Amino acid sequence: MKEISITTSFLEYDSLTDLPQDIQSLMDQAVEVRKKAYAPYSQFRVGAALLLDNGKVIVGSNQENAAYPSGLCAERVAIFHAGSVYPEAKILKMAITAASDTNQTKAPIPPCGSCRQSIAEYEIKQDTPIEIYFMGEIGTIYQSASLKNLLPFMFDKKFL
């Protein structure tokens, strides 16, 4: 038996104003769409904005359902919309923000496991890393250079 070690690293920005201008704009769009989330059950609103290589920005917010598994996270709403409207476009960057109606979220909130798997599918398909920026309602923003950085043991079609 031997131990293996996997290391990931992130960039950390102290606030929105520290982000590069294009990312600040992308995050601003994620914040705006977050406010439109349909979250009557969890009261936890998430917004995502994707920058595509054709210059388009696609946004999505979480959409809940009384039958919890039937809802969709903001990241998947945005990524599936991009895949259906611009199937040949590559996703270059993704901005994610989350806020609770009951308490202020200050820590960066990353994509859930289901969203990571969905993002992985597109990152593998396009053979180009997707930069991911994520934050809470306020405070620090983390940047991951790729989804693989967030999910080093990705499950993909090569295992099928």
Question: 88 labelled as ligand-binding?
Answer: no
Question: 121 labelled as ligand-binding?
Answer: no
Percentages helix, strand, coil for the chain (3-state, rounded to 5) are 35, 25, 40
In our burial notation (b when 16+ CB lie closer than 10 A, e otherwise), range 56-84 reads: ebbbbbbbbeeeeeebbbbbbbbbeebbe
Q: What are phi and psi of 143, to 5 degrees?
A: -120, 125
Q: Minimal CA–CA distance to 59: which of 92, 87, 26?
A: 26
Residues forming the active site = 75
Question: 65 labelled as ligand-binding?
Answer: yes
Question: 145 labelled as ligand-binding?
Answer: no
Question: 82 labelled as ligand-binding?
Answer: no
Question: 89 labelled as ligand-binding?
Answer: no
Question: 39 labelled as ligand-binding?
Answer: no
d(CA 60, CA 119): 14
- Per the annotation, where are the binding residues? 62-68, 73, 112, 115
The annotation places the binding site for Zn(2+) at: 73, 112, 115
